[in-house]
Amino acid sequence: MKANIKQIESTNQPKPFVKWIGGKRSIINELLQRLPKQINNYYEPFVGGGALFFEIYNTVNHSYLSDLNVDLIVTYNTIKSEPKKLIELLSKHKKNHDEEGYYYKIRAMQNLKDPVENSARFIYLMKTCFNGLYRVNKNNEFNTPIGSYKDPNICDKKNILAVTQALKYATIKYQDFTKITPQRGDFVYFDPPYHPTSEDSFTKYLSTGFSEKDQTRLRDFALELIKSGVNVMISNSDAEFIIDIYKKNFNINRVSAPRVVNCKSDKRQSVYEILIRNF
């Protein structure tokens, strides 16, 4: 019943408000086909752009979204509670974007105190930066250069308002993935930074900040949840190490995912990734 009410309230289908590295829109159907039949509450503790959340939020009771990217979490909370002020600030960014040096002026404004201004800055930079890539330096300062877009959609008012509707039924937190507390009947989708495959370079491995120890910590945490009646699904790369740590206790499916494999030529190629489930 509740799901129907939610469907009526949200006339526009919300979608991720920023493009996120590792975003799941390209394999969304593979995920949707493999969900549990019944979900009470939904948890997405590596939320990123939240592609799966936006597909299923209106079929579950409540959603719990979290991540360790503070700008992202502040922005989810701003869209939930102050969408109008955010839209106003974004339209100003849109107007000023053509001014020379505006991108770099906004990029230099690190640590804005006001959360709404901070969120507007974050969305503006993500929509206009090179490849939509969130990258920070050692001091946690955003340092991606400007991208070359003809007409970036800096102020997508319609989608922001649709996201506000979807977030009415969500709790959003800045926290490590092990801090969630789902109960029997709930469903958790884990989409951690992927383990490198043999084709990935060593640099890429270091830059994810998610080590083999973290991958094992995630597996152990998933095993604990399963014992208490929670259903879990985990995405990862088709890497030997990952298959090894999950093969004993989980079902593993390979799915084909289109990826940009060569940033110079923007060449797309399908690579396999895996979906790990207890059900």
Ligand X SMILES: C[S@@+](CC[C@H](N)C(=O)[O-])C[C@H]1O[C@@H](n2cnc3c(N)ncnc32)[C@H](O)[C@@H]1O
Min dist CB 45 to ligand X, Å, is: 6
194 φ, ψ (degrees, to nearest 5): -75, 150
Is 16 or 97 the residue whose CB approaches ligand X more closely? 16
Q: Which of 57, 31, 10 is nearest to 191 (CA)?
A: 31
Is 83 or 132 the residue whose CB approaches ligand X more closely? 132
Min dist CB 168 to ligand X, Å, is: 20
Is 67 or 186 the residue whose CB approaches ligand X more closely? 67
CA dist 221 and 68 (Å) reads: 17
Is 14 or 48 the residue whose CB approaches ligand X more closely? 48
Min dist CB 22 to ligand X, Å, is: 3
Is 105 or 204 the residue whose CB approaches ligand X more closely? 204
Min dist CB 74 to ligand X, Å, is: 13
Min dist CB 6 to ligand X, Å, is: 21
Q: Which amino acid is at 89?
A: L
Instruction: Give 203-257 as a 3 state SS string.
Output: HHHHHHCCCHHHHHHHHHHHHHHHHCCCEEEEEEECCHHHHHHHCCCCEEEEEEE
Residue 54 contacts residue 166 (beta carbons within 8 Å): yes
Is 186 or 191 the residue whose CB approaches ligand X more closely? 191
Q: Locate tokens 């006001």: which residue?
A: 114
CA dist 201 and 16 (Å) reads: 28
Min dist CB 4 to ligand X, Å, is: 26
> Which residues in this chain contact ligand X in the complex, by CB under 6 A?
20, 22-24, 45-46, 48-51, 67-69, 176-177, 191-193, 210
Q: To which H or E segment does residue 218 belong?
A: helix 212-227
Q: To which H or E segment does residue 77 belong?
A: helix 70-81
